[in-house]
Amino acid sequence: MDWIPAKIRLIRQQFQMTQLELAQASGLSQRDISQLENGRKEGVPKEFIRFLHTRGVDLNWLFTDPAEEVGQALAPAKGYTAAEPGAALLVEEERVGYGASPKKAAPVAELRMVDAAAAAQYAARCVEPAFEQTLPALTLPLPQVQQGRFRCFQVTDTSLQPDFQLHDWVIARLLTPKPSVNQLDPAAIYVVVTVQRLAIGRLTPAVAGAVQLVVEAGQAGAEFTWAHVQELWLVTGRLSFQLPAPAPDTLAAQLHNLLERVQRLERER
């Protein structure tokens, strides 16, 4: 097993430890580590094997002759070539243990961001692939945005308060195929893209084949012909970079009111 010293040295280097640090962590002496790396120690101490196992080292890889590793279904780790002695070592964080199979990476969703400037031309250019590529992208490794196509739209007015503040971003999922007017949820908030404009708000059926955008205070705003709606997005969340206003000190307010009542009673005597 003359390959073990080189593998132990490579393990220590991957741990980014000195011989002294590895000795202290494993319960051996620095001399033991030096002898292990230089092949001057007979066998590998059990406590050191146990330490390597707890640190995620694949013991099968450690005790396998590199000549027998050729053809195994272990991909070379990032940063090494197959010809290098550490080809089966863990380098990427997504892998578990030395020579272990890669973890399945968590899916990451890419959300294009439509700010106020992009919203002004979105209706006319949303079908252009080149236009979509000009939109900045936000990646979110969240399960809530894995199923379907999502996009972020910036809120450009105060009509959606208190649900959304000015300059917040709504996270919306594309509804495809487009639902019928009767399938709209009057309590939901939508991003509506017609042939002429982009709008965010609640929708309510109007005359046949049309819907109205419900704006501030429940008042009906712009009316859209349903056939002219190019895209319909259902708002499912938000991004906000604004801290909420501090809550009033209710206890101080109650004490103030109590003091005023006491003073008023004293004046009435």
- Each domain of the chain, given as residue ranges in start order, spans 1-105, 109-239
The whole-number pLDDT of residue 69 equals 55
Ranking 70-79, 114-123, 146-155 by mean pLDDT, the lowest is 70-79
What are the start-end ranges of the E strands in the chain? 109-114, 137-140, 150-154, 169-174, 190-194, 198-205, 210-214, 220-225, 229-239
Which residues lie closer than 8 Å to 31 by C-beta, 6 or more apart?
none
Q: How confident is the model at residue 171 (pLDDT cuts 50, 70, 90)?
A: very high
Q: Which of 207, 204, 209, 210 is nearest to 188 (CA)?
A: 204
pLDDT in tens, 62-90: 888 777 654 333 333 333 333 333 333 33
Is the model more confident about 61 or about 198? Answer: 198
H or E segment to which residue 122 belongs: helix 116-125
The whole-number pLDDT of residue 84 equals 35
Is the model more confident about 85 or about 4? Answer: 4
The whole-number pLDDT of residue 93 equals 39
1-105 topology per CATH = 434 Repressor (Amino-terminal Domain) (1.10.260)
Any idea what DSSP says for residue 102?
A: B
Ranking 30-39, 70-79, 195-204, 223-232 by mean pLDDT, the lowest is 70-79
Tell me the whole-structure pTM to 2 decimals. 0.52
Enter the tokens of residue 194.
Answer: 């017609």
Asked if the 109-239 domain carries CATH number 1.10.760.10, the reply is no
Mean pLDDT, residues 59-63 taken together = 82
Ranking 94-103, 144-153, 171-180, 214-223 by mean pLDDT, the lowest is 94-103
Is the model more confident about 250 or about 263? Answer: 263
Mean pLDDT, residues 157-173 taken together = 88
